[in-house]
Structure 1
Amino acid sequence: MTLQEKIMRSFLGKVVRKDLAFLVKGGLPVPTYVLEYLLGQYCASDDQQAIEMGIEKVKEVIRNNYVNRADAEVVKGKTRENGRYRIIDKVTVTLNEKNDEYQATFANLGLSGVPIGIQYVTQNPKLLSGNGVWCIITIGYIPGEDVKVRWEIQTLKPIQISNIDLQDYISQRRCFTTEEWIDFLMHTVGLNPDKMNRREKFITLARLLPHIENNYNFVELGPKGTGKSHVFQELSPYGVLVSGGDVTSPRLFVSMAGKKENIGLVGYWDVVAWDEFEQQKGRNVDAVLIDTMQNYLANKSFNRGKGTHEASASMAFVGNTKHTVPYMLKNSHLFESIPTSFIKGAFLDRIHLYNPGWEIRTLKKNSFSKGYGLITDYIAAVLHELRNLDLTDKLKDYAKFDGSLSERDHLAIRKTFSGMVKLLYPDGNMTDQEAYELIDFAAESRKRVKDQLYLIDETFRNEPAIFKYELLKQHGEIKTVDTLERISNNIDEVVEETSDEAEETPSAEESNDNATSANNAEPAAETPKTKRKRIADTRQKTLSFRMGQTGVTYEKLFAPYLANAKEIVVEDPYIRAPWQVKNLMEFITMLIDTRESVEGLKIKLYTSEEEEKIPELIDRLDDIKDDLVEYGIEFDYTFRDFHDRAITTDDGWRIVPGRGLDIYEKYSPYSVASSRQARRKCKEFSVDYVRVDGASRGIDLRKATDVENIVRE
């Protein structure tokens, strides 16, 4: 059964094909959740004819009931002639104290001061938030003389699901594998999961954390066009997206109307997202806002007016970066683009997660889902209900973090872990490996914040946090966590490079030999000191690389171990597709570029056969064979059935790359990455380097007790 079939079977009536909203929307400034609410009523089917009929019905509803500002007077006229009219519009309510009544304002219809019944306000308090709520309203017209207000609200229904069966949603999780569930959520947020790797999916879904966790403090900065604000603007009627430059303390927290205190946005919404949260020339941020914000982010409360107020709204700050990550790491810090007033330790230390938006590719036409996902209004209601569930305590069953972490570090990791569990494993059924995957993500997300605090506020350097933890489910194993951008931009710490400028430290044996020679030799005239060429590091070890890591090349992985070999055997069952043959050629080209000589070098390839591709593959490998003759390389190949991958040399090395030569994720042929391996993103893999003598080349790696484990996580 395909994923799409599982989705339709498990959530029939609650799903919609995610591309339909774009087909209907056109240029209308209507949130996606409004359109999907209607599509869910008419198009929740996999029958193409029913879908087409449903789309026409939705278009008819939009055409007849959605109020376009240009047609406001036409709608008013129809209401007068018919006595009533059903419309779709955004409604905002205020209290008119003089008349002691609530009054509604219609964003597109242009009406204000329209009396609205108390029951509507009581049932839907967000109407009072100042940002408006999309509703389906039946508005009436009262004719005659001496009528004070001619407009009346006869019915009003916010466009959102009134109730859901949360347990039914949770119970359906068992019908999906973890990979399927993640892809299902990706379809639900409107993106194509086939265009992202697992890490990119985690980063994308992390944008839902403010929706599922109370008082969650989230930051994402990255290039334009990566969908940073999409889930905050389009996903949920429980969240509000505001322009970062337009936020004021009264609007956000409490405004004063005489002696009355009116709660601001944090009192009405689950999430308040600041869009375009970057430095804007000519705009200064109110100091009172920052102080109030700091208190709220830390304590869930704020002092305004006469008392202390509490709220559960999460804060999300999304904005664009000015420079590339390598530039920021070298010249400034990762918060450089946000308003200067916020770049201080007291504020940034309260951030629970810094989402690396630069790891998400710019969204293109094929980046969006064309499959079925949950109606956004339904998933928004699910996330809203799951806010009441606190799973932060579960982390202590899996990990014990180093004592150097502050309480804010611990809280941030626990809240991120809790939110990700509710997103991916709402039924609580996850393996230890899956739990540690979430812990690593949570710890890395917080470490990204802490690393920048050391650069911004020197007081944090006095008590540095060591981000490592004990795996309580794995016999006390210790794991160290680092951010991917630090690893990718400091690759020398992971893969030791050869360097002509660094002098090699002699081994103990070399030191003793040199000392003996020095004692027996006659004093020599002083000679100028010259730098000795570094001897390549060729130790037995294991190296591990993370998904999405950059800076990894064949030269760094293999060149030191293959420099002196006269015969090299490459065993890789997956040299079939064009890009895999290209990998082989890049490997051989690396040998030509890095060795002093390849004259007389023999390279033997073992790969598995795929019957329908054999003729084409033979032609490609023969072309390689003919080309290498010119370089003095003898190349040969053999087909056989096997699975393990290895590179073996005649001078005693066996290198076992877990993925063979296929270590890179897919990249565009029209990108810098196509010609620069260091610019490519890696798949997750490891490489074992084992020294074997001539009599035991077939050594079992599991029995190699002297292999040094050098793993950079």
Structure 2
Amino acid sequence: MNAEVLSAPAPLDWQALHDLNAKVAEVFKSLAIDKRRLPASQLTKRGIPAYVAEWVLESVVPGQGDLSTEEATKVRDWAARIIPGPGEHNIIKHRLAQGQTVKVLTPLQAEVKLKKGKEPERVAQLGLLGISDAYIADALLENHPDLLRQGMWGVVELGSLQDGVAVLSFKPMQASVNLKLYKDARRQFTLHEWRALLLTSLGFDPESFTEWQQTLLLCRLLPLVQKNMHLMELAPKGTGKSFTFENISPKVRLISGGNISPAVLFVNNASGQWGLLARFSVVVLDEVQTARFEKPEEIVGGLKGYLANGMLTRGGLHQTASDCGFVILANISLDDQQRPLRELLVEELPSFLQETAFLDRIRALLPGWQLPKLSSKLLVGPSSGLTMGLKSDFFGDALIALRDDLEAEGYAARNVHLSGEKPYRRNEDSVRTIAAGLMKLQFPHGELSPLEYHRYCVKPALQLRQLIWDQLYTLDSEYRQYEHSLSVQ
């Protein structure tokens, strides 16, 4: 790997970091937050993701700087009243049974059940409370249509009815996304400052990583900014593979272990309920070696079709299009030099995920073994220089909004052409998709030089696709009719 890519960026001195904090606050105003406040609040220990916890902080104790003792107490008191803890759902149900109204911060998802000869039934599900059939009014569904898609986080007011529970009101997390503002803001930062801001927004201390490691961390965001961006990350335990996906957006669904079935991923043929790939922007399978797959042949068959053309179907009974990104996270064994123990990187995956027709449809393999193990020293903390980042709910929504900005795709189509007499089409499509995503992340305003595009977008794209291509080249002689080493004209 080129030494230029592995080198550490020139560090910002203390004054520069102080100025950058001030710039972030000035440019983004209420959309920025001091990332030190979240760990000090200990809100995530109550089982809520960062994008929810930061919303709570700004709602209850808005401000910058270290969280004071008084603010921390106020947040804890609010959380004790509103955020249900483990085992508290029966207490909440008891209060409802006594006729009390209850306010809780929880994810809320709704469903409309159509039954022949009967009025449509609208029900709300509150998984944290063990409630799956609460009444919800039409007006709430019309005002918040995402309740019918992947669901939403917010403060729910519940009351009891004679025959059950009703959602009386719902205050969702609000993140207004203005892409023009986001792009205009980018113009006020250097590339080094902007990359540092993105990483800080994710909760990382950017000064703790080399330039290449920073790029790898940013590549985890590719499925958010690119439609149908399918990614695999292999890394040893403890590198924080799932950290980004857990805390970035409610439109990202992380499945960690457990039972995975065709009905969960694609569609439940009995009920007609669409699965996760139809309802979320990104679906992440974590710890795939320990997951239990029901009907693995049907799963990999359905995935091959979906990854190839974006169409979801199961047994021909239902069909729909989706732009959901699919991500696989898996552990990998390393030698004493912290390099992969096996030449075939995918050898430790379940056998049905090693099929070349499946792997070919994964656009990129992220070498997570090149990242350090996650520790408090790598996260924004009291000793960090850069502490101001974007609020997680705004940041996640801004990234997903960039999916519909196709300028980067056009730029890649004009400027990325693989070398060789007959380049393999999926390689070229994948390199273009990755390069376009990296352009959206680092140059959302579309202003960059050809040299910057090659170094920060094309070169990493080639490296991530090359790792997939190496697996295919090793596993199946069919692919050896093409060039082994990927490069651009």
Both structures adopt the same fold (TM-score exceeding 0.5): yes
Residues 620-639 of structure 1 show CA distances to partners (whole Å, capped at 9, x for unaligned) of xxxxxxxxxxxxxxxxxxxx
Query: Which residue number corresponds to residue 464 of structure 2?
Result: 445
Residues 62-101 of structure 1 show CA distances to partners (whole Å, capped at 9, x for unaligned) of 1111112433344345556674222112334344445631
How much does 1:168 deviate? Answer: 0.8
Is residue 350 of structure 2 the alignment partner of residue 333 of structure 1? no
User: How far apart, in 2, do the equivalents of 1:444 and 1:26 lie?
Assistant: 35
Q: Is the 8 A contact 2:259 2:294 kept in 1?
A: no
How much does 1:345 deviate? Answer: 1.0
- AA paired with 1:177? T
How much does 1:299 deviate? Answer: 0.6
Q: Is the 8 A contact 1:245 1:277 kept in 2?
A: no
How much does 1:331 deviate? Answer: 4.6
Between 354-363 and 283-292, the greater mean CA deviation after superposition: 283-292
Rate the CA distance shift 1:267–1:118 in 2: closer, same or farther, 3 A.
farther
* 1:220 counterpart SS class: strand
Is residue 170 of structure 2 the alignment partner of residue 152 of structure 1? no
How much does 1:365 deviate? Answer: 1.5
Residues 576-603 of structure 1 show CA distances to partners (whole Å, capped at 9, x for unaligned) of xxxxxxxxxxxxxxxxxxxxxxxxxxxx
Q: Is the 8 A contact 1:14 1:374 kept in 2?
A: yes
Between 55-64 and 309-318, the greater mean CA deviation after superposition: 55-64
* 2:263 counterpart SS class: helix
The structure whose Rg is larger is 1
Query: Which residue number corresponds to residue 13 of structure 2?
Result: none
User: How far apart, in 2, do the equivalents of 1:331 and 1:265 lie?
Assistant: 33
Residues 234-289 of structure 1 show CA distances to partners (whole Å, capped at 9, x for unaligned) of 1111110013552211111111236xx32211121100011112266x86752111
Is residue 472 of structure 2 the alignment partner of residue 458 of structure 1? no
User: How far apart, in 2, do the equivalents of 1:319 and 1:463 lie?
Assistant: 28
- Aligned pair partner of 1:106 in 101, 112, 126: 126
User: How far apart, in 2, do the equivalents of 1:331 and 1:242 lie?
Assistant: 26
How much does 1:306 deviate? Answer: 2.9
Residues 200-251 of structure 1 show CA distances to partners (whole Å, capped at 9, x for unaligned) of 0000010000011100010101011111111111111111001355221111
- AA paired with 2:214? K
Aligned pairs, number: 459
* 1:153 counterpart SS class: strand
* 2:158 counterpart SS class: strand
Residues 474-497 of structure 1 show CA distances to partners (whole Å, capped at 9, x for unaligned) of xxxxxxxxxxxxxxxxxxxxxxxx
Is residue 201 of structure 2 the alignment partner of residue 181 of structure 1? no
User: How far apart, in 1, do the equivalents of 2:483 and 2:230 lie?
Assistant: 22
User: How far apart, in 2, do the equivalents of 1:359 and 1:319 lie?
Assistant: 14
How much does 1:112 deviate? Answer: 3.4
Q: Is the 8 A contact 1:406 1:465 kept in 2?
A: no
User: How far apart, in 2, do the equivalents of 1:216 and 1:283 lie?
Assistant: 22
User: How far apart, in 1, do the equivalents of 2:133 and 2:308 lie?
Assistant: 39
Rate the CA distance shift 1:244–1:67 in 2: closer, same or farther, 3 A.
closer
User: How far apart, in 2, do the equivalents of 1:386 and 1:433 lie?
Assistant: 23
Rate the CA distance shift 1:432–1:268 in 2: closer, same or farther, 3 A.
same
Query: Which residue number corresponds to residue 401 of structure 1?
Result: 418
| Consecutive unaligned residues in structure 2, runs of 5 or more | 1-15, 382-386
- Aligned pair partner of 2:330 in 313, 319, 322: 319
Residues 367-426 of structure 1 show CA distances to partners (whole Å, capped at 9, x for unaligned) of 101312111100011012111012222124444321432111111011111111111111
- AA paired with 1:233? E
Rate the CA distance shift 1:419–1:44 in 2: closer, same or farther, 3 A.
farther
Choose between structure 1 and 2 for higher RCO, CA contacts under 8 A separated by at least 6 residues: 2
Q: Is the 8 A contact 2:234 2:367 kept in 1?
A: yes
Query: Which residue number corresponds to residue 47 of structure 2?
Result: 29
- AA paired with 1:148? D
* 2:269 counterpart SS class: strand
- AA paired with 1:463? Y
Rate the CA distance shift 1:250–1:76 in 2: closer, same or farther, 3 A.
closer
Is residue 416 of structure 2 the alignment partner of residue 378 of structure 1? no
Q: Is the 8 A contact 1:325 1:334 kept in 2?
A: no
- Aligned pair partner of 1:423 in 441, 460, 485: 441
User: How far apart, in 2, do the equivalents of 1:62 and 1:321 lie?
Assistant: 38
User: How far apart, in 1, do the equivalents of 2:69 and 2:424 lie?
Assistant: 56
* 1:262 counterpart SS class: coil
Is residue 367 of structure 2 the alignment partner of residue 356 of structure 1? yes
Rate the CA distance shift 1:334–1:328 in 2: closer, same or farther, 3 A.
farther
- AA paired with 1:39? L
Is residue 104 of structure 2 the alignment partner of residue 91 of structure 1? no
Q: Is the 8 A contact 1:16 1:39 kept in 2?
A: no
Is residue 308 of structure 2 the alignment partner of residue 292 of structure 1? no
How much does 1:158 deviate? Answer: 3.2
Q: Is the 8 A contact 2:473 2:484 kept in 1?
A: no
User: How far apart, in 2, do the equivalents of 1:22 and 1:372 lie?
Assistant: 14
Rate the CA distance shift 1:328–1:287 in 2: closer, same or farther, 3 A.
farther
Rate the CA distance shift 1:385–1:21 in 2: closer, same or farther, 3 A.
same
Q: Is the 8 A contact 2:333 2:340 kept in 1?
A: no
Rate the CA distance shift 1:216–1:283 in 2: closer, same or farther, 3 A.
closer
Residues 632-664 of structure 1 show CA distances to partners (whole Å, capped at 9, x for unaligned) of xxxxxxxxxxxxxxxxxxxxxxxxxxxxxxxxx
User: How far apart, in 1, do the equivalents of 2:324 and 2:123 lie?
Assistant: 26
How much does 1:316 deviate? Answer: 0.7
- AA paired with 1:406? Y
Query: Which residue number corresponds to residue 9 of structure 2?
Result: none
* 1:426 counterpart SS class: coil
Is residue 206 of structure 2 the alignment partner of residue 193 of structure 1? yes
User: How far apart, in 2, do the equivalents of 1:45 and 1:321 lie?
Assistant: 42
Rate the CA distance shift 1:122–1:273 in 2: closer, same or farther, 3 A.
farther
Q: Is the 8 A contact 1:91 1:105 kept in 2?
A: yes
Query: Which residue number corresponds to residue 302 of structure 1?
Result: 312
